[in-house]
């Protein structure tokens, strides 16, 4: 029993230490970003940020579209039969509109971005650590947080906001297409029910979740990359750790958001 409690305590301490490291890295990145805005002598490099935005966001659009459209089709085909038995098949748009805008759009985008960009960011920074490129930057008085972390965290955060909205629109469009062509639900009815059910707050909650999810993915990926040890094996382990931690963090953040919105009566 003592050993179990000791192991559990060590796990909790390690987890809290890791969260503290994440907050510290986020604080340092935020300070550099604020300084770049307020102090003209501090430049982040627009080309570096644009490169990361293209790499993280633009190149993820195709896979996000594919997954989001598939989810929209699956939801429509799965939910139509039970709703039809209750004589409520026309309410399909009401359910899918709310579910996609509030939950599935941001969540799908975050999971796709974790596998597509988060793992790549960790591997890239980890390879630089193994190759002693980080030490070379520091030897030239160049801060790694400023030149490596800030552009990547900025890209993941901003791109997730856009990808979350994009994924929601694609899912709803695919559901609308399936409902019209396969389920014999008139397009006018689908559209009217969608507009009746969906509110601005549904859209804004999805955007807020997407931004936080992107921030979590970027910070976790960069932190694990900077903490790589042990050569190529360490890079692989850090990449795996990034995917696992990012998915868990995103789901837990989604739970916290849902609880807060429910307590505030925003649903």
Phi-psi region of 35 (alpha: psi -120 to 50; beta: other; left: phi over 0): alpha
Contact (CB, 8 A) for 128 and 222: no
65-79, 82-96, 101-115: least confident range: 82-96
> Does residue 196 sit within a domain?
yes
Mean of the per-residue pLDDT values of the chain: 85
Number of folded domains in the chain?
Answer: 1
> Does residue 21 sit within a domain?
no
Q: Supply 148's token pair.
A: 């490596």
pLDDT of 213 above 90: yes
44-53, 96-105, 119-128, 162-171: least confident range: 44-53
For residue 2, the model assigns a pLDDT of: 67
242-245-251 Cα angle (round to 5): 135
For residue 266, the model assigns a pLDDT of: 66
pLDDT of 48 above 80: no
Assign 129 to helix, strand or coil: helix
Measured from the Cβ of residue 156, the count of other Cβ atoms closer than 10 Å reads: 33
The b/e string for 32-59 (b: 16+ C-beta within 10 A; e otherwise) is bbeebeeeeeeebeeebbeebbebbbee
**CA gap 42, 127 in Å, rounded:** 27
pLDDT, average across residues 15-44: 77
pLDDT of 240 above 80: yes
For residue 216, the model assigns a pLDDT of: 92
Percent of the chain with pLDDT over 70: 96
The predicted model scores a pTM of 0.89
**CA gap 221, 216 in Å, rounded:** 8
> Does residue 18 sit within a domain?
no
What would the pLDDT profile of 159-193 be if each residue is shown by its tens digit?
898 898 999 999 999 999 988 888 888 888 889 88
pLDDT of 267 above 70: no
pLDDT, average across residues 8-12: 76
The b/e string for 76-97 (b: 16+ C-beta within 10 A; e otherwise) is beebbeebeeeeebbebbbbbb
pLDDT of 194 above 80: yes
What would the pLDDT profile of 214-239 be if each residue is shown by its tens digit?
999 999 999 888 888 877 788 888 88
**CA gap 227, 236 in Å, rounded:** 12
> Does residue 9 sit within a domain?
no
> Does residue 226 sit within a domain?
yes
Full domain range(s) for residue 169 = 48-264
pLDDT, average across residues 58-84: 88
**CA gap 144, 137 in Å, rounded:** 7
Provide the pLDDT confidence category of residue 70 given band limits of 50, 70 and 90: very high
pLDDT of 107 above 80: yes
> Does residue 8 sit within a domain?
no
């Amino acid at each position: 029993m003592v050993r179990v409690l000791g192991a559990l305590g060590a796990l909790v301490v390690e987890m809290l230490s890791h969260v503290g490291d994440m907050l510290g890295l986020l604080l340092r990145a935020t300070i550099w970003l604020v300084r770049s805005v307020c102090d003209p002598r501090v430049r982040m490099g627009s080309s570096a940020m644009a490169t990361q935005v293209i790499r993280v966001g633009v190149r993820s659009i195709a896979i996000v579209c594919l997954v989001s459209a598939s989810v929209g089709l699956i939801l429509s085909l799965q939910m139509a039969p039970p709703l039809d038995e209750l004589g409520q098949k026309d309410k399909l748009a009401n359910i899918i509109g709310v579910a996609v805008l509030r939950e599935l759009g941001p969540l799908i985008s975050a999971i796709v971005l974790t596998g597509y960009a988060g793992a790549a960011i960790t591997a890239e920074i980890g390879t630089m650590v193994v190759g002693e490129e980080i030490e070379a930057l520091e030897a030239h008085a160049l801060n790694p947080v400023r030149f490596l972390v800030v552009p990547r965290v900025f890209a993941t955060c901003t791109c997730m906001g856009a990808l979350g909205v994009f994924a929601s629109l694609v899912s709803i469009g695919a559901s609308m297409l399936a409902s019209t062509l396969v389920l014999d639900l008139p397009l006018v009815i689908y559209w009217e029910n969608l507009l009746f059910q969906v509110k601005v707050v549904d859209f804004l909650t999805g955007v807020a979740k997407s931004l936080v999810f992107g921030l979590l993915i970027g910070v976790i990926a960069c932190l694990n990359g900077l903490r790589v040890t042990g050569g190529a094996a360490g890079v692989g382990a850090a990449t795996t750790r990034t995917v696992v931690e990012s998915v868990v963090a995103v789901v837990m953040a989604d739970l916290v958001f849902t609880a807060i919105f429910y307590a505030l009566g925003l649903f």
